[in-house]
A and B are shown apart, each in its own frame.
Chain A
């Protein structure tokens, strides 16, 4: 059971907008920033969003993050086939880093 709660799956057709939620508590998301990772099959995770809504250099602007209270969201607009991957949220919690259980995004 993960400290941060994500839906196990999400899907959309090419060009659609997909949103992934990440629910936490006042001890993690409510008091610390949220980061998002993309993990393509068989590869290491890649930092996609940091500090709630910032994109590292090289990440397309169709990926965006937001946060409100104890929940955060990752949105993928203009979904592309190469976006099919697992997505994880992460936050600081009581002297440790906690991750969500992950959401598998399928491009139909």
Chain B
């Protein structure tokens, strides 16, 4: 079945970097982009950006420009999200999600299970 499986929970110190993976299966990886969305504890959803898995083009949320990098490895159908210079307010569950282009922008039909990233000294 179509699914996105993410890497496990991470605990990082302030100033460090984290790299979360998202492995796709059940569909042609390069036919759909991948977006990343995060959710701080008890808070709402925040879109982080998007990567075109076919050509590697990216579009990052302005707030995260300069600290986030999204990449893919098409040989393993895996997307990655790296966030640098971590702060306490980066503590959140990070989700990868598949945009459903036919449904319009902002429609994500498949989601990963989420990866908890905790930033603490």
Contact = CB atoms under 8 A, between A and B. Distances in A.
B100 interface: yes
Which bucket holds chain A's interface residue count?
Answer: 20 to 34
A85 interface: no
Which bucket holds chain B's interface residue count?
Answer: 20 to 34
Contacts of A44: 95, 111-114
Nearest to B95: A44
Interface string A63-94: 00000000000000000000000001011100
B45 A50 contact: no
B21 to A, nearest CB: 16
Residue with the highest number of chain B CB atoms closer than 10 Å, among A44, A90, A96: A44
A33 B44 contact: no
Contact of A46 (B62, B106, B111, B112): B111
A102 B106 contact: no
Contact of B108 (A2, A32, A47, A100): A47
A45 B45 contact: yes
Residue with the highest number of chain A CB atoms closer than 10 Å, among B95, B105, B114: B105
Interface of B: 35, 37, 44-47, 59, 61-62, 95, 97, 100, 103-109, 111-114
